[in-house]
Structure 1
Amino acid sequence: MLSKNAAANEADKKSALRIVVMVSGGGTNLQAIIDSVKNGTITNTEIAGVISNNRNAYALTRAEENGIPAVCVSPKDYETREIFNEKLLDAVDSYEPDLVVLAGFLVVIPPKMIEKYRNRMINIHPSLIPSFCGKGYYGLKVHEAALARGVKVVGATVHFVDEGTDTGPIILQKAVEVEQGDTPEVLQRRVMEQAEWKILPRAIDLIANGKVKVADNRTEILS
């Protein structure tokens, strides 16, 4: 028979938000999530699994080093995109997530997955949406475009995923100042450190604790 404390801990574990993190590359945002769960910045949350489309992604190593189940589902392994889409959704479903987190996942999300995880799938984008977002804006391309335009403030956005590209309801945004002499690489790093690694964990924590409400393509952060 469980003690009261053990029973309480078991109940808390069962009620924790199960998240799956999907990553294509190095996984710096994944690491920010892992660290935030460990240090209590993200509460009431369990990382159920990590999925990558790239078998060489360092994100998979990060998952392994932290004892998190991980799998690669690559379109290169399937004859058609339709089969890949089915296998990708199967992989997500296998972890039984409450929330899907796209943390630098450079694959078009299948419509069936978007529909199934409506308002339960979030993405981090390295700009202040609606600036420098949409088709073709990813990775360094975002920062190259911002510097070419000469903007003085950039940032990052966490939003829910819908059928458009970077068009879902915005959850959190954080601004970052552009500095004289910035290169795309330097600016990218500052946006990660000052914005992405802060607001993505914050958004997960808010969702895990029932603080985010969606209506009419807009979110309300509950106090």
Structure 2
Amino acid sequence: MLRIAVLVSGGGTNLQAIIDSIKQGKITNAEIGVVISNKKQAYALERAKQYGIKTAVVSPKDYQSREEFDMALCKTLDSYQVDLIVLAGYLVILPKILIERYPGKIINIHPSLIPAFCGPGFYGLRVHEAVLERGNKITGATVHFVDEGTDTGPIILQKAVPVYEQDTPETLQKRVMEEAEWTILPEAIDLIANNRLRIDKNKVYAGE
């Protein structure tokens, strides 16, 4: 059974998609061991508690240095003996020590079709604002493994969604979440939980 830690900073809609997919059997051989947030008031923590999922808050504000925070986050994750870390709207840059400790065991959902509109500064509504500013006809979401770069790890799954002329950043964000993120993040977790992924030269292949 794959034990998952979900790291969140906000409302936790992707967390809800994971919870629902486990309950519906779309994700098999996996369970959420803990939900961790950097914000005490994140609604995602309440979502987790409603389902009896353990929660923890590890905030940089509670530590005198970034190094102390980094170690605290690592120790918290280690204490729950997790096999996979899922970044689901987690707005904190992961420490190098954590990436090295969990190689190939951290995935992230990004609200664009990488390599477009990704990297430093591209998160949240800013991604969708940039898509509209550029005049893209399609956008989407990407699930990828996390490495030491920003949105540079091997791509697991992508799903495209249309961009409409009347879109605002908010309406586009909603469509990307509903039509792409909430589908491919659970799918990627299920592939990992059932050992159906392999990485070869920075490319990810899915199979039986």
Counterpart in 2 of 1:58?
43
Q: Write the deviation string for residues 184-220 of structure 1: whole angstroms up to 9, x where unpaired.
A: 0000000000000000000000000000111211111
| Residue in structure 2 matching 1:170, options 141, 155, 171 | 155
Counterpart in 2 of 1:210?
195
- TM-score (normalizing by structure 2): 0.99
- TM-score (normalizing by structure 1): 0.92
**Contact kept? 1:119, 1:214, Cα under 8 Å:** no
Larger of the two Rg values belongs to structure: 1
| Residue in structure 1 matching 2:144, options 152, 159, 162 | 159
User: What's the offset of the Cα at 1:33?
Assistant: 0.2
> Could you list the runs of 5+ residues in structure 2 that have no partner in the other structure?
none
In the alignment, the residues of structure 2 paired with residue 210 and residue 147 of structure 1 have an alpha-carbon distance, to the nearest angstrom, of 37
Q: Aligned pair count?
A: 208
Look up the SS of the partner of 1:210 in the other structure: coil
Counterpart in 2 of 1:103?
88
In the alignment, the residues of structure 1 paired with residue 54 and residue 67 of structure 2 have an alpha-carbon distance, to the nearest angstrom, of 25
In the alignment, the residues of structure 2 paired with residue 104 and residue 92 of structure 1 have an alpha-carbon distance, to the nearest angstrom, of 17
Q: Does residue 130 in structure 1 map to residue 81 in structure 2?
A: no
CA RMSD between the two structures: 0.6
| Residue in structure 1 matching 2:129, options 129, 144, 147 | 144
In the alignment, the residues of structure 1 paired with residue 104 and residue 28 of structure 2 have an alpha-carbon distance, to the nearest angstrom, of 20
Look up the SS of the partner of 2:139 in the other structure: strand
Counterpart in 1 of 2:55?
70
Runs of 4+ in 1 over 6 A off after TM superposition: none
Aligned partner letter, 1:40: G
In the alignment, the residues of structure 2 paired with residue 86 and residue 137 of structure 1 have an alpha-carbon distance, to the nearest angstrom, of 26
| Residue in structure 1 matching 2:21, options 36, 39, 45 | 36
Q: Identity rate of aligned residues, in percent?
A: 64
> Could you list the runs of 5+ residues in structure 1 that have no partner in the other structure?
1-15
Look up the SS of the partner of 2:32 in the other structure: strand
